[in-house]
């Protein structure tokens, strides 16, 4: 069962076929992908900004992250659902697309990073880590998620 | 008058140059999308505060003042990249219904923002620390979210030549 076989199976799903054959489904799902992107951008960046020592400085990192968390998780779920639907409709194209695999790589690392290292940095709340550590953590977050976004955009250009 | 302006821009060497460049248009478009994450991301976080959905312990003025510079920086990126996108293919945008609706919605979003800031926000001291702001404020937040969601959707649909 090669990876290509898996993607051929994706391509052959009835969901994928339905989206492929519809005039409007792909654009609408894509628009929803974009809306969720704006939301996750705000939810992630507002905390990363705070870790840099900018933006909503009067709020504690922990409180801000706690407030942003449901929106980050919710929009991420939305991104994954819409992303999977988009992929199913053009699975073979994705399989052969370099940018798609870069995006998946960045996405995996970004998700793991966000829910492990970054979560711990937030919990420390500047106390033990110090401002430099917080800034490095925030920079890594911005770089990883930017990687997802940029390679996602690049899919359309290959 | 606008038509002749767009026709003239379409024929400009600079416009042609971007159109024929392999990488320039993708870069401008990417800047528009990524700028959206910053600009709209922070607009939505503010709107979510207005509708009492997040950051309820923070005063509204604090959210507004601290996020505003970043929203404006994002807005500059959006306006510049957006203008360049239209500059590259003005005739396509001129005839595209989604582009026209998007422009109208952008104006409405601007009006909504100004109406909020010159209206209910003038008396923000009265409800600044409330977790749940007054109805008018929440309405402005909802209107903003709805308008921007429509703007993004129209923006995406511009690429689909359904009405040509």
ipTM for the predicted complex comes to 0.91
B155 CB neighbours in chain A (<8 A) are 34
Q: Which of A23, A30, A33, A46 to mutate against chain B (most B CBs within 10 Å)? A: A46
Cα–Cα distance measured from residue A144 to residue B67, given in angstroms and rounded to the nearest whole number? 22
Exposure of B113 by Cβ count < 10 A (0-12 exposed, 13-18 middle, 19+ buried)?
A: middle
Cα–Cα distance measured from residue A79 to residue A150, given in angstroms and rounded to the nearest whole number? 15
Q: What is the pLDDT of residues B24-47, one digit of tens each?
A: 888 999 999 999 999 999 999 999
Confidence at B164, pLDDT banded by 50, 70, 90: low
Nearest CA in chain B to A152: B30
CB contact (8 A) between residue B152 and residue A35: yes
Average pLDDT of the segment spanning B55-60 = 94
Cα–Cα distance measured from residue B107 to residue A72, given in angstroms and rounded to the nearest whole number? 29
Any idea how long chain A is? 158
The answer to whether B141 and B52 have CB atoms below 8 angstroms apart is no
Q: Any CB–CB contact under 8 A between B128 and chain A?
A: no
Size of interface A-B (CB pairs under 8 A): 103
A55 CB neighbours in chain B (<8 A) are 66-67, 70
CB contact (8 A) between residue B57 and residue A150: no
Spacing of C-alpha B35 from chain mean position: 10
B41 CB neighbours in chain A (<8 A) are 38-46
B58 CB neighbours in chain A (<8 A) are 56, 58-59
pLDDT of residue B61: 95
Q: Which of A38, A56, A153 faces B152 most closely, judged by CB atoms? A: A38
Strand ranges inside chain B, DSSP E: none
The answer to whether B120 and B137 have CB atoms below 8 angstroms apart is yes
Q: Any CB–CB contact under 8 A between A67 and chain B?
A: yes
The tokens for B147 are 């308008």
pLDDT along chain A (158 residues), means of 10: 94 96 94 96 96 92 95 98 97 97 98 96 80 93 96 86
Residues 6+ apart with CB under 8 A from A89: A15, A16, A17, A19, A20, A25, A26
Confidence at B94, pLDDT banded by 50, 70, 90: very high
**pLDDT, chain B, mean:** 94
The answer to whether B15 and B9 have CB atoms below 8 angstroms apart is yes
Q: What is the pLDDT of residues B71-92, one digit of tens each?
A: 999 999 999 999 999 999 999 9
Helices and strands: H and E segment counts in chain B? 7, 0
Cα–Cα distance measured from residue A117 to residue A134, given in angstroms and rounded to the nearest whole number? 11
A78 CB neighbours in chain B (<8 A) are none
pLDDT of residue A125: 76
Q: Which of B44, B57, B162 faces A39 most closely, judged by CB atoms? A: B44
Question: HSE of B107 in the Cβ direction (CA atoms, 13 Å)?
Answer: 5
Q: Any CB–CB contact under 8 A between B98 and chain A?
A: no
Q: Which of B42, B62, B162 faces A58 most closely, judged by CB atoms? A: B62
pLDDT of residue A41: 96
Question: Hunting for tokens 């929203």 — which residue is that?
Answer: B71
pLDDT of residue B58: 94
Question: Hunting for tokens 């959905």 — which residue is that?
Answer: B53
């Amino acid at each position: 069962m090669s990876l290509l076989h898996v993607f051929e199976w994706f391509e052959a799903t009835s969901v994928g076929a339905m989206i492929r054959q519809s005039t409007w489904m792909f654009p609408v799902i894509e628009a929803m992908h974009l809306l969720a992107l704006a939301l996750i951008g705000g939810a992630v960046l507002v905390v990363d900004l705070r870790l840099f020592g900018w933006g909503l400085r009067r709020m504690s990192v922990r409180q801000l992250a706690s407030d942003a968390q449901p929106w980050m998780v919710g929009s991420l779920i939305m991104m994954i659902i819409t992303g999977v639907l988009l992929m199913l409709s053009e699975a073979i194209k994705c399989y052969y697309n370099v940018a798609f695999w870069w995006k998946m790589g960045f996405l995996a690392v970004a998700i793991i990073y966000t829910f492990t290292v970054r979560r711990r940095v937030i919990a420390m709340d500047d106390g033990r880590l110090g401002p430099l550590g917080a800034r490095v953590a925030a920079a890594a977050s911005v770089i990883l998620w930017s990687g997802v976004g940029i390679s996602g955009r690049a899919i359309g250009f290959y | 008058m606008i038509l002749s302006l767009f026709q003239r821009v379409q024929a400009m060497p600079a416009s042609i140059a971007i159109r024929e460049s392999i990488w320039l248009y993708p870069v401008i478009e990417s800047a528009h999308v990524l700028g959206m994450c910053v600009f709209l991301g922070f607009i939505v976080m503010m709107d979510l505060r207005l509708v009492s959905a997040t950051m309820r312990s923070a005063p509204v003025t604090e959210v507004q003042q601290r996020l505003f510079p970043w929203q404006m920086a994002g807005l500059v990126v959006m306006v510049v990249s957006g203008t360049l996108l239209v500059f590259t293919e003005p005739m396509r945008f001129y005839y595209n219904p989604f582009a026209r609706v998007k422009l109208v919605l952008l104006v409405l979003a601007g009006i909504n923002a100004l109406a909020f800031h010159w209206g209910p926000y003038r008396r923000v001291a009265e409800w600044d620390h409330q977790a749940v702001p007054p109805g008018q404020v929440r309405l402005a937040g909802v209107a903003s979210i709805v308008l921007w969601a429509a703007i993004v959707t129209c923006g995406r649909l511009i690429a689909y030549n359904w009405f040509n």
